[in-house]
């Protein structure tokens, strides 16, 4: 009986979510203008380096927070400010995780956050844009451009909050930020990939 009840509840939950999911749109022009807050539970920063020329190695940085001011009719006015706690770094190797937060890498005790603040947003297509900004990492601030792609917008069926999703990619040279351990054997060039969700305030 309990199993039947759980199955019925799951079906009802899915059915009730369908109308909300149907509101999803892939047109960024239809997104309401206003202020949005980053949803840390559905946002992830990932970095990838070349490991001794043998393989690509990646890590993740969860726990990002931030804000987005957006008006699709005036995209150039958009403002993005995101901070990421570097102590959350996670790879497939727990020993390495401990090293990465140490003074030879991120030095999380001295520089606990990585921050990106946009300075210019340029539309490059119907659902794409270049976001130029300043990245502060390891106590150093450098200009970086992220190539962003609008994914979709909809009312989150669980939280009942209007949300928009983006993906973004960019490349930095980590030595320019003072993170030079093992370079160039572990590549200086570091790819950054971001999947982000923002909630309407």
Residue, of 36 and 3, whose pLDDT is higher: 36
The ranges assigned to domains in the chain are: 2-200
pLDDT at site 14: 35
Q: Spelled out in words, what is the top-level CATH class assigned to the domain 2-200?
A: mainly beta
Residue, of 5 and 52, whose pLDDT is higher: 52
∠ CA 159-196-34, nearest 5°, is 70
Q: Which of 3-17, 23-37, 90-104 has the lowest mean pLDDT?
A: 3-17
Specify the 3-state DSSP secondary structure of 185.
coil
Q: Can you tell me the distance from the alpha carbon of 162 to that of 30, in angstroms, rounded to the nearest whole number?
A: 12
């Amino acid at each position: 009986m309990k199993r039947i009840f759980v199955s019925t509840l799951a079906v009802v939950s899915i059915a009730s979510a369908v109308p909300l999911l149907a509101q999803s749109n892939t047109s960024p022009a239809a997104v309401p203008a206003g202020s949005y807050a980053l949803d840390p539970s559905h946002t992830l920063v990932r970095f990838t380096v070349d490991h001794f020329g043998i393989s690509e190695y990646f890590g993740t940085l969860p726990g990002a927070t931030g804000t987005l001011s957006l008006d699709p009719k005036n995209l150039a006015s958009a403002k993005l400010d995101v901070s990421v706690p570097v102590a959350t770094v996670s790879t497939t190797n727990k020993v390495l995780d401990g090293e990465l937060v140490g003074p030879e890498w991120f030095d999380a005790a001295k520089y606990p956050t990585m921050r990106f603040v946009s300075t210019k947003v340029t539309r490059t297509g119907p659902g794409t844009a270049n976001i130029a900004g300043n990245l502060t990492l390891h106590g150093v601030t450098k200009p970086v451009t992220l190539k962003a792609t609008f994914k979709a917008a909809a009312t989150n069926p669980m939280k009942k909050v209007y949300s928009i999703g983006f993906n973004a990619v960019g490349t930095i040279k980590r030595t320019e930020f003072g993170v030079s351990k093992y370079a160039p054997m572990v590549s200086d060039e570091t790819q950054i990939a971001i999947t982000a969700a923002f909630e309407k305030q």
